Structure 1
Amino acid sequence: MLIHVVQQGDSVYSVANRYQTPIEDIVEVNQLDQPDDLVIGQALVVPVSQYTVQEGDSYYSIGQRLNIPYELLASYNELDLNEPLMIGQELILPEPDRRTITTNAYIEPFGESVSEELLQSAWARTPLLTYLGMFSYEVNEDGTLSPPPLDDIPMIAQANNTALMMVITNLRDGAFDQELGRIILTDEQVQDQLLDEIIRVANEIGYRDIHFDFEFLPPETREDYNNFLRKARERLSPQGLLISTALAPKTSDEQTGPWYEAHDYQAHGEIVDFVILMTYEWGYGGGPAMAVSPIGPVREVVEYALSEMPAEKIMLGQNTYGYDWTLPFEEGVTAPAISPNEAIQIARENNQAIEYDEEAQAPYFYYWDEEGNQHEVWFEDARSIQAKFDLIDELGLKGISYWKLGLAFPQNWALLNYNFDIDKIV
């Protein structure tokens, strides 16, 4: 498996010919709906197990292109780095050292039923998921729960040996509610009712993990949240249920603000089975244009988390979306979220080449709409997700969690399957 960045004059035919790979394989793995119209700068995943040396190639350039250490490439093929490569020479590509990781993807139905598109996405992706996170069970002020629609989701998860994750939130009217969070974390009766409800629903549906996603909490409820998690563990663990939490992306325990202060990394690391770091939304719909999950800030959050809890409890949060911002940025104007495939389509329709920010490890481009407005688009591609996989491998993290299913990003799933084995706990 390798990543090819489309250059001027490239076609699916020329790429397939270069790597001696069937055209149909490239089209299928990248889900190319317009294979005859590639975009300059588009990153394609090419399923290949060997490479034919081209004019101008060196060990180093091939290693860079294939994301393989050039020394390993030479030693794997029993070649001397001091000997030049020959045009037409066949190199066998080493398989990655596949570590077993835990994976999760949230799924967020809207309305009274799960759309057919989401059901199809669940069927397609659950073979590569340890957990499928049902987003969300909203807590009411009395501790009862307002559930999401499920339809065939439990059956799909069971068919693919994917554990169901029950996501519990303090959402109200579509937003995380600070006062509701306070009630949940400080009222013993509400907590007892909530935990009773969780146990009942978990046993009824077959949930394996209970995932608390409490956000925008009053800063003074930090210890209340910790105590609630201890209480939840006492009640839920005897039922055979795992417990996890979603944590805001902090870089120190002193980080201020309602999104951060009530999230105690050290305590969560001690109490729950694992955490999901929400390492995205540096670039967000209501803010100025930038990469959604730039690798540098993501690494800083993970390194802080590692100072407070073991790596085997940390799952890296990963966006499957980008944003299309209209320039100049205006406060109060929200950029629409788009999938990686939609981003490529926008670049194609506007005849724009895709650029890549090496520092952020993220693709982007600009275009002008029919009304003369300039846009800036940041999204994810094969290169950016491989950078996250490399980070997970380097730091020995438990795994990765996606927000969310239903956004077309085929390269992610191909590379996930190539880089890792997936833990299945059911």
Structure 2
Amino acid sequence: MTIIIVKKGDSLWEIASKNKVAPSRIIEVNGLESTTLVPGLALYIPNEKAVNRRYLIKSQDTLTRIGSRFGTSAAAIKEANPGISENSLKIGTEISIPSPYKNQLITLGFAFPTSGGVVFETLEQNGDKLSYLAIVAYSFTREGNAYVDEDDLPLIAKCEQTGVTPLLMIRNFQDGDFDADLAGDVLASSVYRANLINSMLTFVREKGYGGVSMDIEFIPPARRSDYVLFLKELKEGLNELILHVNVHAKTADNPDNRIVGGHDYRGIGEAADLVAVMTIDYGYPTGPPEPISPLWWMAEVLRYALLNIPEYKLQSAFPMYGYDWIVPSHETKALSAQNAQNLSIATGAEITFDTSAASPSYSYRRGNSNHVVWFEDIRSISAKYEMIDAYELIGATYWQIGLEFPQNWEFIDNNIWIIK
């Protein structure tokens, strides 16, 4: 893999010639709308150059043993990590490993019901890069009866056609937002919990879903044990089908916190087949302009999660988007990673890169308004893949595949083996 950071005066043709690739291929892989470039733009140049794997030194490790696991040699590891010594391996140290083996991941995308458009195009072009698709179409009543908001059948059929397993995604979503009281009322009642489980299982069986993806947010802390009980009962009903659970990102338990307190990582990890930590929206709409998913924060969240959830069940959420903030009002607009990149080109804004956050951003002015944009690009997304490789997580999720991010799919195609 080669990443080129555009400098002032660079041209697409010069970059293409130097890297022996057609300009049209660079445009395709990076989702460019023209041949115009701006300083700081990260271009992904597809080639046969393998990406080194990342690994954290563990107790009893030797370079020979590590090399055997990754299909390489102690000498090659030493060459990739100048200064490393067999006699001074420190537990927790991250090293780079030249390996012929690709990282193997379970991936899950999210999508709203549709019968065409970008979601269908993404599945047609990248269905081989997704293990599951969680279809965001379901909520429930205060008596615990699940219902479907939009017609999900065309998207289920598209999943079957493209070899992606569809999951029924249900949220405590009412009137355009998550409803904590709705979740609390249903979880507090054994009757309503049973209603929700039975009605969900009916939809799963009738429509041919491969399981369920739960996104119950802002659960009242008093109901956290009820949620774990609910998940265990749901998994019993699903049997061999998948129970996937999305949880708030946090770096400590905070059991009384009204936002994250309702998610008991340890209990959820015991009940579910897969748990996705929502390591997104550190920078959030109406808040101050900040990175969407800064790498340092993601690391803190995952380190805590791994104390409670085994790595073979754990996924990290990747954003497929950016936010455009108007300052100082903090009025916010979401846009796809591709559109955020191309907006910088359209406005002529130079892109900067925060190395600790591993996140790109830029500023521009439109009319009387000053704008700040944070988004994702090939640098930020590849850093996230390296982190989940080092922590040995089972996979990643993508919110959401209706947002175009061609660099991400190209990276997976070149560097990841998808578990189906």
Q: Same fold (TM over 0.5)?
A: yes
**Residue of structure 2 in register with 1:296 after alignment:** 296
Q: Distance in 2 between matches of 1:315 and 1:385?
A: 14
The answer (yes or no) to whether the contact 1:168–1:212 under 8 Å persists in 2 is yes
Q: Distance in 2 between matches of 1:27 and 1:74?
A: 37
**Residue of structure 2 in register with 1:412 after alignment:** 408
The answer (yes or no) to whether the contact 1:103–1:129 under 8 Å persists in 2 is yes
**Unaligned regions of 5+ residues in structure 1, if any?**
52-70, 77-93
The answer (yes or no) to whether the contact 1:389–1:419 under 8 Å persists in 2 is no
**Unaligned regions of 5+ residues in structure 2, if any?**
51-74, 81-97
Q: State the AA in 1 paired with 2:186.
A: I
SS at 1:221 equivalent: helix
**Residue of structure 1 in register with 2:20 after alignment:** 20
**Residue of structure 1 in register with 2:143 after alignment:** 142
Point out the more displaced range, 360-369 or 335-344. 335-344
Q: Distance in 2 between matches of 1:409 and 1:95?
A: 26
**Residue of structure 2 in register with 1:104 after alignment:** 108
Q: Distance in 2 between matches of 1:241 and 1:73?
A: 40
2:356 is aligned, of 359, 373, 376, to 359
Q: State the AA in 2 paired with 1:208.
A: G
Q: Distance in 1 between matches of 2:76 and 2:364?
A: 41
Question: What percentage of aligned pairs have identical amino acids?
Answer: 31
The answer (yes or no) to whether the contact 1:166–1:210 under 8 Å persists in 2 is yes
Q: Distance in 1 between matches of 2:19 and 2:77?
A: 16
Q: Distance in 1 between matches of 2:223 and 2:302?
A: 24
Q: State the AA in 1 paired with 2:38.
A: V
**Residue of structure 2 in register with 1:86 after alignment:** none
**Residue of structure 1 in register with 2:387 after alignment:** 391
Q: Distance in 2 between matches of 1:152 and 1:12?
A: 40
CA shift for structure 1 position 157: 1.1
**Residue of structure 1 in register with 2:306 after alignment:** 306
**Residue of structure 2 in register with 1:243 after alignment:** 243
Structure 1 residues 150, 50: CA separation in 2 closer, same or farther (over 3 Å shift)?
Answer: closer
Q: State the AA in 2 paired with 1:223.
A: S
Structure 1 residues 121, 311: CA separation in 2 closer, same or farther (over 3 Å shift)?
Answer: same
The answer (yes or no) to whether the contact 2:135–2:166 under 8 Å persists in 1 is yes
Q: State the AA in 1 paired with 2:327.
A: L
Q: How does 1:120-131 map to 2 (within 5 A)?
A: 120-131=121-132
Q: How does 1:16-415 map to 2 (within 5 A)?
A: 16-34=16-34, 36-49=35-48, 97-109=101-113, 113-147=114-148, 148-237=150-239, 240-254=240-254, 256-328=256-328, 330=329, 333-371=330-368, 373-415=369-411
The answer (yes or no) to whether the contact 2:104–2:417 under 8 Å persists in 1 is yes
SS at 2:37 equivalent: coil
Structure 1 residues 214, 12: CA separation in 2 closer, same or farther (over 3 Å shift)?
Answer: same
Q: State the AA in 2 paired with 1:25.
A: R
Q: Distance in 2 between matches of 1:229 and 1:265?
A: 12
The answer (yes or no) to whether the contact 1:122–1:153 under 8 Å persists in 2 is no
Q: Distance in 2 between matches of 1:265 and 1:29?
A: 37
The answer (yes or no) to whether the contact 1:119–1:152 under 8 Å persists in 2 is no
Q: Distance in 1 between matches of 2:262 and 2:48?
A: 48
Deviations 1:350-378 (A, max 9, x none): 2111110001100001111122x211110
Structure 1 residues 291, 72: CA separation in 2 closer, same or farther (over 3 Å shift)?
Answer: farther
Q: Distance in 2 between matches of 1:43 and 1:9?
A: 15
Deviations 1:123-156 (A, max 9, x none): 2332210000101310112222221322421222
CA shift for structure 1 position 164: 0.8
Structure 1 residues 30, 387: CA separation in 2 closer, same or farther (over 3 Å shift)?
Answer: same
CA shift for structure 1 position 255: 5.8
SS at 1:259 equivalent: coil
The answer (yes or no) to whether the contact 2:2–2:49 under 8 Å persists in 1 is no
Structure 1 residues 200, 298: CA separation in 2 closer, same or farther (over 3 Å shift)?
Answer: same
SS at 2:287 equivalent: coil
Count of residue correspondences:
378
Structure 1 residues 96, 403: CA separation in 2 closer, same or farther (over 3 Å shift)?
Answer: farther
Q: State the AA in 1 paired with 2:40.
A: G
Q: TM-score, normalised by structure 2?
A: 0.85
The answer (yes or no) to whether the contact 2:221–2:257 under 8 Å persists in 1 is yes
Q: Distance in 1 between matches of 2:40 and 2:389?
A: 26
Q: Distance in 2 between matches of 1:144 and 1:398?
A: 32
CA shift for structure 1 position 265: 0.4
CA shift for structure 1 position 193: 1.9
Deviations 1:175-233 (A, max 9, x none): 11111101221122222222222221111221112111110111100111111112112
What root-mean-square deviation, in Å, do the aligned CA atoms of Structure 1 and Structure 2 show? 2.0
CA shift for structure 1 position 117: 3.2
The answer (yes or no) to whether the contact 2:276–2:315 under 8 Å persists in 1 is yes
The answer (yes or no) to whether the contact 2:12–2:23 under 8 Å persists in 1 is yes
Q: Distance in 2 between matches of 1:161 and 1:277?
A: 25
Q: State the AA in 2 paired with 1:145.
A: A
Structure 1 residues 413, 50: CA separation in 2 closer, same or farther (over 3 Å shift)?
Answer: closer
CA shift for structure 1 position 2: 1.3
Structure 1 residues 15, 269: CA separation in 2 closer, same or farther (over 3 Å shift)?
Answer: same
Q: Distance in 1 between matches of 2:299 and 2:78?
A: 30
Q: TM-score, normalised by structure 1?
A: 0.84
